[in-house]
Chain A
């Protein structure tokens, strides 16, 4: 069969998010790949220039709807960096706890889509059901299920509701038993291992050069996690390990994310135990000084950054968002070439695409 270009997307039932992947196949083998993004471009950076600083928080939530707490937290960090604010400690602990819960929820959603793509349809409903446990906690905490509008410039919007520590600890215990069951279910299945081990190799040098960050980078052997190496918020007080793996294939990426979920459970426990009493919010000034602010977080998908230029009014002059998925998608041709057409789903699923943040 001759070489031909195949379009996977933009209308496709199983690509997570709205993007187009043009693959050139020769029979069943992939020869070239060209991803195309931009179908979901909403102009968030321009939108942010016309709104006040607090009005942008819900917009930042909607950048990546799979892990929205990290993005609004990142935005608040950036603005606090610009304004030079000192956030109260209780607010920092609440934020860290919420972010780690969001990390578990985001990885569970990734696992759901990944299992369902590979054909293990039961994995989808089980992981989504467990994600509901965390979503219920978020609903009690913030009032929202998917996008929260919870961090504020100078703290968080409101304090923890009654009995939250008890519920959160119960949820974390439940999650740890379920994680064990998932590991048995996925790694005990020989077909799952056949479809993941040795597929989609991304060498260390390529990963670093192409700007891939996050679990995909750590699965290639580079142990770099922003929470440990350039810590922000109260992460220096937390005791956890960075999940790394040496093989650079899809199984390594899966393994890194599972390990990250275990570590997040540990962090949630510690933050609940160490949380001091006190104020959860200070009132931030309405106008920002002239200058620039920089914020970096470890998003579940990689390194998220925001660069904010303030001009003395109450609206930003320029907000630039760095989305990890934007850069990871550009690395797709390197990873895909040489594998079979049926591996595309495993490889692109393993990179955890959330196109909302790629297109902004």
Chain B
């Protein structure tokens, strides 16, 4: 299922794309990124600090050729919110699962819709159903539920 990669990879010549990705991220954002895992061939997972999220995403798009944001999910745990970004690279055929945590009383994170236009509606959906606020989003409105709805239904404390 998942292998933990504990040590930094060696050598440059015949690097696998996953290792090149990990090296690139660790070189630039060593303090913010932790907990790298290889889930499957071509699928990597990492945790990132939420303040550095925007910079990491911009780096991924500009330098590591991650052109496509596949999915933005929000999970509601007991002590935190987790926002999971799945970002795809067409060139290297990689999928990176980037996990951010926010505390329960301040579920907000920077919006990446200025980097990838495809994140726009996905962030609106997370706001609508889970209540995560995305800073600097061009138009953070409800999208699936009526505009004047009061609750965020996907949270665990909303019971039907």
A contacts B directly (C-beta below 8 A):
yes
Chain B interface mostly: mixed
Chain A residues with Cβ below 8 Å from B40 are: 81
Q: Which of A35-43, A97-105, A152-160, A188-196 contacts B (4 or more CB under 8 A)?
A: A35-43
**Residue B133 is within 8 A (CB to CB) of chain A in the complex:** no
Q: Judge whether B144 and A41 touch: CB under 8 Å.
A: yes
**Residue A167 is within 8 A (CB to CB) of chain B in the complex:** no
Chain A residues with Cβ below 8 Å from B103 are: none
Q: Judge whether A209 and B117 touch: CB under 8 Å.
A: yes
Q: Judge whether A46 and B153 touch: CB under 8 Å.
A: yes
- Total residue contacts A-B, CB cutoff 8 A: 88
Point out residues on A near B: beta carbons under 8 Å. 37-38, 41, 43, 45-46, 81, 84, 206, 208-213, 222, 224, 229-230, 291, 294, 296, 303, 305, 307, 309, 317-318, 320, 322, 326-327, 329-331, 359-360
Indicate with 1 or 0, residue by residue over B96-140, a CB within 8 angstroms of chain A CB atoms.
010000000000000000001111111001000100000000000
Residue of A nearest to B61 (CB): A209
Chain B residues with Cβ below 8 Å from A45 are: 129, 154
* B interface residue count range (under 10 / 10 to 19 / 20 to 34 / 35 or more): 35 or more
**Residue B75 is within 8 A (CB to CB) of chain A in the complex:** yes
**Residue B95 is within 8 A (CB to CB) of chain A in the complex:** yes
Please report the C-alpha to C-alpha distance between residue A206 and residue B40 in the assembled complex, in whole angstroms: 29
Chain B residues with Cβ below 8 Å from A326 are: 121-122, 125
Q: How many whole Å from A13's CB to the nearest CB in chain B?
A: 24
With beta carbons under 8 angstroms apart, the residue of A43, A211, A318, A360 that contacts B69 is A211
With beta carbons under 8 angstroms apart, the residue of B71, B76, B142 that contacts A318 is B76
Q: Judge whether B122 and A327 touch: CB under 8 Å.
A: yes
Knowing A208-B90, A294-B39, the reply to whether A322 touches B70 (Cβ < 8 A) is yes
Please report the C-alpha to C-alpha distance between residue A359 and residue B121 in the assembled complex, in whole angstroms: 12
Knowing A38-B143, A318-B75, A327-B122, the reply to whether A211 touches B1 (Cβ < 8 A) is no
Q: Judge whether A211 and B154 touch: CB under 8 Å.
A: no
Shortest 5 CB-CB contacts between residues of A and residues of B: A211-B118, A320-B73, A322-B71, A38-B144, A330-B121
Chain B residues with Cβ below 8 Å from A41 are: 144-145
Chain B residues with Cβ below 8 Å from A317 are: 75
Knowing A43-B153, A291-B1, A359-B144, the reply to whether A209 touches B67 (Cβ < 8 A) is yes
Q: Judge whether B95 and A230 touch: CB under 8 Å.
A: yes
**Residue B86 is within 8 A (CB to CB) of chain A in the complex:** yes
**Residue B25 is within 8 A (CB to CB) of chain A in the complex:** no
Q: Judge whether A294 and B76 touch: CB under 8 Å.
A: no
Point out residues on B near A: beta carbons under 8 Å. 1, 39-40, 42-43, 67-71, 73-76, 84, 86, 90, 93, 95, 97, 116-122, 125, 129, 142-146, 153-154
Knowing A41-B145, A322-B71, the reply to whether A209 touches B120 (Cβ < 8 A) is no
Q: How many whole Å from A230's CB to the nearest CB in chain B?
A: 5
Q: Judge whether A208 and B68 touch: CB under 8 Å.
A: yes
Q: How many whole Å from B12's CB to the nearest CB in chain A?
A: 24
Chain B residues with Cβ below 8 Å from A206 are: 117
Q: How many whole Å from B41's CB to the nearest CB in chain A?
A: 8
Q: Judge whether B154 and A46 touch: CB under 8 Å.
A: yes
Q: How many whole Å from A120's CB to the nearest CB in chain B?
A: 32
Please report the C-alpha to C-alpha distance between residue A38 and residue B144 in the assembled complex, in whole angstroms: 4
Please report the C-alpha to C-alpha distance between residue A230 and residue B86 in the assembled complex, in whole angstroms: 14
Please report the C-alpha to C-alpha distance between residue A222 and residue B97 in the assembled complex, in whole angstroms: 23
With beta carbons under 8 angstroms apart, the residue of B39, B70, B119 that contacts A303 is B70
Please report the C-alpha to C-alpha distance between residue A307 and residue B142 in the assembled complex, in whole angstroms: 22
Chain B residues with Cβ below 8 Å from A210 are: 117-118
Residue of B nearest to A303 (CB): B70
Residue of B nearest to A205 (CB): B67
Residue of A nearest to B71 (CB): A322
With A45-B154, A322-B71, A331-B118 already in contact, 17 other A-B pairs whose C-beta atoms are closer than 8 Å = A38-B144, A38-B145, A43-B153, A46-B154, A206-B117, A208-B67, A209-B118, A210-B118, A211-B68, A211-B69, A211-B116, A230-B42, A291-B1, A320-B84, A327-B118, A327-B122, A330-B118
Chain B residues with Cβ below 8 Å from A38 are: 142-146
Chain A residues with Cβ below 8 Å from B129 are: 45
Q: Give the most central of A84, A229, A303, A307: most B CB within 10 Å.
A: A307
Please report the C-alpha to C-alpha distance between residue A229 and residue B92 in the assembled complex, in whole angstroms: 9
Chain A residues with Cβ below 8 Å from B39 are: 294
Please report the C-alpha to C-alpha distance between residue A206 and residue B117 in the assembled complex, in whole angstroms: 9
Chain A residues with Cβ below 8 Å from B75 are: 309, 317-318, 320
